[in-house]
Chains A and B, each alone.
Chain A
């Protein structure tokens, strides 16, 4: 049928011309509609057209075989509203795990309430009963702010097939009866509840960029949450265990029903996910998302999550990576249900490969790696070789008889992107971390991944969007072997601007001595973030804020820092520290000697305890808190202006400035003090220390100048040319004695400066702190 004809046909269904044209662009929908139109003969009665359209938009490919049935039911007015159509679709889908099953029509009609008529009287009765009973109190309190949808749902539970419009009208009338007309107060919108939440906190002058490459930013916002648990419980809509066949693109075979039944028996209907990193590098911020989604989804649904090392490539694996990965998962607060290894399944995978060859679905190929690289490589001339030959050669590969690169095992299948016959096995004469010299053929990701998922009875195989194109091969492979087939769900990758996560490039930074090691706090590996003092909770919350949409997200570090501040604000106790000390002697020191002061850990919340600090005649203040020549609006200490000392109850004024005669540098201030109660209220209070201990404090700035240091357009000279000059500086700071007994990773807020965390370099008397984040974004002092 030509486009023009179709547009007319579509309009006959009740669409506008515009809509008909748009519809035509959707090939799937057009095909469904054409099929539907082909099934109807007589002119359509009112409303039937739009119901057909509704059905056609929601028809999943796996139930397309039932289209004639649905069309007939709609045309016969047995399914006379969208609700019944939806119910019918749902029912048919439920039957879908059996291939070519006959739908039980009686049950279908029961499920869809065919012929059920709900009278207006019935509606009125139930609505009255609900509004005057269950909801009365809430309605009186919240008035028109009450979400009437709840009532609607409730009524629906009793009167499933009540007409939506009549129901809505009945509810409106009944509420009006109860509350009377709307008052002015009813019209004021409620304040947004989550205004205090971190996203709102990011100041507008440096708004972290959330770039959504496919969907709109608004969608990303809607799909985010504050914690992973909340995200997973409320925003993510994956299938229920065992209902794999209801998902889009799932392939139902004659074995599906049995396999899913067995699957449910094995798992008891429990959600099972897995985090499957390749143990060939250090985890970075991008992995945090994967960890959170997999572990988080399982936790939120009382399921379990495996930590599976995808160790199929022996070249790149090292012991330290295995340990490091588990360490980081646990640091983020998750406990793997079991730690497994893809290599545990090498024998099974091999046996399956042999089975695939026997079935004529795989063959040994001798094309070189270069030959099959790139776009549109030539098809393999070995594709149709005899099965016995492939079996023999595959065994020869296993026995070490064939040279590296001289043979691969390939699957007979075309991937979505048009890639022909992906490689399943290749020869590598390299001992494996766990299997030693057992194997010299190693399976590829494409081959291993889905099969290990199947072995572990994974319910939701969650992966990033790049793997969408592998979904069909995933399903194909499981089905080719007649084994349980999990469902693959994809989510967008998380990219951090100004960050470099490639293992090779980080190694380069290390060998060029630009950073110190894998956990250098300027990097975005998880160990680096931990070392820098980022709390695991903050990283998890950050991931929750990013949501689980399909869009690839690029985000500025500021966004993560905001999440870090939110957590540290309520968890890191305050301390007084001066980074660049300036000696101050109080000439009229009011006490006879050093005195101890009790200082709250959290000034807003004294219930959270105190620590002691010492006040003495000689104190140290921040060098930058004194100015010889103050500019206008300057609020702290100058020769003309007094300043208060935090927690000390003193206000000091400069009496004398001692300067180095040679350089003119200020060496010391002699100040007089007044009790804070007596003195005029100073414009500012500053932090100070006396009888201090020394701290080594490391301050970090962004390592790269550009957002995408790896992008040759942005940085033509390569990432090594994009290093900031002062990404790290080391200071010798003073703090009071209360910081003398700190442990590695203890976190504090240095008042007025920022959040700091104890570095693992700390030992004995040497105390090292890293600046985690400043107090505020872009905290230039004023």
Chain B
């Protein structure tokens, strides 16, 4: 509980106490004088008393709920029902090491997935060599192999381990239990794909964040796509995610925009101004601002009136913002992005209080008329400018106000800023300063600047239009649609699909491949934007994944049986894992939780893309080797392998889950 809340509660308790005392006093003196008491029909009072009871009750309930949720989360940590395999094995082998060598009980187990030959098992514990070296340092001579055997001996029973072998110089090879795999898969088919259990957090993701009166361009694309997928990933892990659009909706430029609006659309107070192209409007006003001294003066004046909350100026500001907002929303709708707007203007009053707060803490220093703050006690690095010499505020100020608001008002414990790598220094400074000011506590809070590289044109230079302008996002999306339609037509899909299905496929492919290309690279590096590449139906592309998914879905459909109720099928048929390729596919599917954890820990989504690709290629192997439906020479179905179709369905379910996080829309027909 924050200190403020505690103080407030104490205050309230006192007020209540005093009120009760007063009530008793009045009662006593009334009774003393033989005046009537008790029949006070004061509706207002009764209403307030009821409200007080209700608030107290709700407070008690919420407090209790928090406690129970907390203990639930802790108990869930021990409840190995839905777990990531690697995590589970780490626990098991950490315990094995601790049992075998109590002196090294704090050595964490190193678990690696084995992708090589199946004879080396599915996972490996690679601690033996390290331990051997440590012991040698202490003068004990023990071969890694012996240590491996000792770890094997001390390994506690786990439902997921079929057997353990020690191979070579001391690799502890772990073989997964098929029984476990079957039951996991069965549960997944019955209950849907469940997330691995992690302690729930409230996480605030700041992404997209375009500026009012400017077009969204390709630079905003990455933040928007990555931010959306990170939000989806964390929501899937059951976190409480707040998605924030830190819109650039405040600043001196609004003075000139308002002044220009007054001239161009004098009737703006009564009628929404028909601004078609806000960017053009911006350019016009900027031109006047630079050339016309009296306009410039008026523009400055409008900044002041806007900041003072004058209604006409506020209205003008809102109207200008609305124009942009509508444009942005179109893009968000096309990309299926959900985000809550909370622009810089939101922090106006909070900037005042944060300045006051920092000043009171003695963290501000005067520097040439400005007030600055060093992020670091040692005054190293670059100081933040909190108050300009003219008394105005800067991005540093608003970001300090924002971080404080997010941690103290929203009570988020994890902040994620999805902003390009260029801002790294700035955010580093903000995080440091917030820590120094006691706003951010690294023991409780986690902050990440999720940075990303730039989008390059096919020439390997910054992505531009032929005329050298930045590429407008809406134009880019339009072009994507054209490319994908062309591709679908080349494949003759326009002949097979209905017009609606065609549009659906066209959009799924176009937007899907734009997002996927962005996500499938390590976000820190730059990437080359090429529609031709991203629309390739081979390799790690959205198109390949979507086609594979559609093919998997068609298998159950083509069996001629109804697989819509999987629970019923599972009541009748068991999954059996006999064929080597079946087993390989299932083991791949079971890595989902590991992959999700890995993505969430580093906030890297390319791991998930790689996983999808792996699933699809392993599936292809499976499908080439294992008949799901056997047909006779006449082409009639003569045998249905239900177990394999169930594996197909599980594969589809896993892919669907990943697609959702990556923002790919699976289509039934493509």
| A residues in contact (CB < 8 Å) with B | 398-401, 404, 429-431, 437-440, 511
Contact = CB atoms under 8 A, between A and B. Distances in A.
Contacts of A430: 53-54, 57
Given A398-B65, A399-B65, A400-B65, A437 B54 contact: no
Contact of A429 (B55, B65, B69): B55
A466 B69 CA distance: 42
Closest 8 CB pairs of A and B: A399-B65, A400-B61, A429-B54, A437-B60, A400-B62, A429-B58, A429-B57, A440-B61
Contacts of B57: 429-431, 437, 440
A399 B61 contact: yes
| Contact residues of B: prevailing secondary structure | helix
A440 B58 contact: yes
Interface in B17-60: 39, 53-55, 57-58, 60
Contacts of B61: 399-400, 429, 437, 439-440
A437 B64 contact: yes
B53 A400 contact: no
Nearest to A396: B65
Nearest to B69: A399
A404 B65 contact: no
Contacts of A440: 57-58, 61
Interface in B55-85: 55, 57-58, 60-62, 64-65, 69
A439 B64 CA distance: 10
| Contact residues of A: prevailing secondary structure | loop
Interface centre among B53, B55, B58, B69 (most CB of A within 10 A): B58
Contacts of A511: 39
21 contacts: A399-B65, A400-B61, A400-B65, A401-B62, A404-B54, A429-B53, A429-B55, A429-B58, A429-B61, A430-B53, A430-B54, A430-B57, A431-B53, A431-B57, A431-B60, A437-B57, A437-B61, A439-B61, A440-B57, A440-B58, A511-B39
Contacts, number: 34
A438 B69 CA distance: 15
Interface in B544-580: none
A511 B41 CA distance: 11
Nearest to A403: B58
Nearest to A511: B39
Contacts of B62: 399-401
A374 to B, nearest CB: 26
A189 to B, nearest CB: 65
A439 B62 CA distance: 10
Contacts of B65: 398-401
Nearest to A441: B61
Contacts of A438: 64
A313 to B, nearest CB: 15
Interface in B375-397: none
A439 B68 CA distance: 13
B202 to A, nearest CB: 13
Nearest to B59: A400
B117 to A, nearest CB: 41
Given A400-B58, A440-B57, A440-B61, 9 more contacts: A399-B61, A399-B62, A399-B65, A429-B57, A429-B61, A430-B54, A431-B53, A431-B57, A431-B60
Nearest to A315: B50
B50 to A, nearest CB: 8
A399 B60 CA distance: 10
A434 to B, nearest CB: 14
A399 B55 CA distance: 14
Contacts of A404: 54
Contacts of B55: 429
Contacts of B53: 429-431
Nearest to B51: A429
Contacts of B60: 431, 437
A429 B50 CA distance: 10
Contacts of A431: 53, 57, 60
A299 to B, nearest CB: 41
A437 B62 CA distance: 10
A517 to B, nearest CB: 15
Contacts of A398: 65
Interface in B307-345: none
A219 B58 CA distance: 54
Contacts of A401: 62, 65
Nearest to A399: B65
Contacts of A439: 61
A749 to B, nearest CB: 41
A362 to B, nearest CB: 19
A440 B58 CA distance: 7
A709 B69 CA distance: 55
A645 B53 CA distance: 67
A431 B53 CA distance: 8
B53 to A, nearest CB: 7
Interface centre among B53, B55, B57, B65 (most CB of A within 10 A): B57
A401 B58 CA distance: 9
Nearest to B39: A511
A400 B66 CA distance: 10
A522 B265 CA distance: 79
A430 B58 CA distance: 8
Contacts of A437: 57, 60-61, 64
B568 to A, nearest CB: 15
Nearest to B60: A437
A431 B59 CA distance: 11
Contacts of A429: 53-55, 57-58, 61
A551 B60 CA distance: 48
A401 B61 CA distance: 9
